[in-house]
Amino acid sequence: MTLLSTRDEDKRMPQLNRDDWIAAALTVLVEEGIDAVQVTQLSRLLEVTRGSFYWHFKSRDALLEALLAEWRARNTGVMVDALTAAQTLSEGILELFAVWVDHTRFDPRLDQAVRDWSRRADGVLKSVAQEDDNRVRSIAAFFETHGYEPTEAFIRARVIYFTQLSYYSLGVREPLTERAGFLSAYYQCFTGNSLGEGDADAFLARMARNGVST
């Protein structure tokens, strides 16, 4: 709701611009899915008439294109970047975990919404598929640089990424303490190695400092 701050409750904040419509559309996309992103509903939400929308956008499709562009700009490359900086295996994997829990760097709800959308829009599907491919590839490359055979690296990359996707997709919510208890088990399963206690504690401490929400 903070996304509508420019207008909102104030009587007559000057005017809406293109980005206001996109911001509103993004929240609706995340909350209720792409089918709920309708000109009429957004107008009601922004408390203007549809006339306004059709001044800023050529059509609903134009808005949807803008949404996809926004997703690309936000969620692309975040995971890849996390890995390229890492020196050791554990550092990289833990940093990946960190990205996935840090919703300021990676927005899982938006990612999920776009993914749902993509299942019934071929154009979107292509974008998402390519992005997924990039992510898995970069994780696999990371494993390879740390001594894993190509096939094993690829499969481990898939397993770790696919697991996380389902984590989001099923909307798993569990308390931080419980999640912390799973850390080394996940690490063991994903890498085949044990996680040093020092590394685990340092990671959990860092998470606690950053105060991750879920």
C-alpha 136/C-alpha 46 separation (Å) is: 39
Measured on CA atoms in the order 83, 85, 87, 93, is the torsion positive or negative? negative
Q: Which of 49, 84, 145, 166 binds a second copy (CB under 8 A)?
A: 166
Query: What number of other Cβ atoms are within 10 A of residue 92's Cβ?
Result: 21
Q: Which of 165, 180, 200, 204 binds a second copy (CB under 8 A)?
A: 165
Q: Which of 3, 4, 45, 54 binds DNA (CB under 7 A)?
A: 54
For residue 101 the two structure tokens come to 């829990």
Q: Which does 175 bind (CB under 5 to 8 A by kind): a second copy, DNA, none?
A: none
Tell me the three state secondary structure of residue 203.
helix
Q: Which of 186, 200, 204, 212 binds a second copy (CB under 8 A)?
A: 186
* C-alpha torsion 27→33→34→38, nearest 10: -70
State which residue, 5 or 166, has the beta carbon closest to a second copy: 166
The region of 1-9, 17-25, 91-99, 153-161 touching a second copy under the rule CB under 8 A is 153-161
Closest CA to 78 of 56, 103, 53, 99: 99
Q: Does 56 bind DNA (CB under 7 A)?
A: yes
Closest CA to 18 of 1, 42, 34: 42
Q: Which of 119, 126, 137, 206 binds a second copy (CB under 8 A)?
A: 119
- Total number of residues binding a second copy (CB under 8 A)? 32
Residues near a second copy (CB under 8 A) are: 32-33, 35, 115-116, 119-120, 129, 132, 151-152, 154-156, 158-159, 161-163, 165-167, 169-170, 181-182, 185-186, 188-190, 192
